[in-house]
Amino acid sequence: MNEFMENKISEAELNEVTGGVGEAGVKVRPINPIWVRVTASSLNCRYTPNGEIAKVYEKGHKLKVDGITADGEWYRLLIYDPKGGTCYAYIFKKYTEKI
């Protein structure tokens, strides 16, 4: 099985993803799960990019992400939804660092 089929993405590709968010929904490219740390004083975790806030994480919080939006600006992660259950949500990549 080749790397594309395994949804592997290199460091260079991760930093150069381009495209946009489709009208029908958020376009996300799966990535091998990585851990990131919040670098801002607080970071809004949203149900969709620029959408309703689901949670707020404080500086230093560690999160496991498994996708990046087509525009390369938002990471996708699975969260425990405050409304109940689990769901995918998004954090702004600019305010995180890989660990």
pLDDT digits 0-9 by tens, 41-94: 999 999 999 999 999 999 999 999 999 999 999 999 999 988 888 999 999 999
Quote the CA–CA distance of 62 and 7 in Å, as a whole number.
Answer: 23
How is residue 95 annotated by DSSP?
G
Quote the CA–CA distance of 31 and 28 in Å, as a whole number.
Answer: 9
Q: Are 44 and 56 in contact (CB under 8 A)?
A: yes
Tokens of 96: 């995180």
Domain 11-98, what architecture?
Roll (2.30)
The pTM score is: 0.75
Quote the CA–CA distance of 48 and 51 in Å, as a whole number.
Answer: 5
Side chain identity, residue 19: G
Q: Where are the domains of the chain?
A: 11-98
pLDDT digits (tens, 9 = 90+) for 7-54: 455 566 555 544 443 334 789 999 999 999 999 999 999 999 999 999
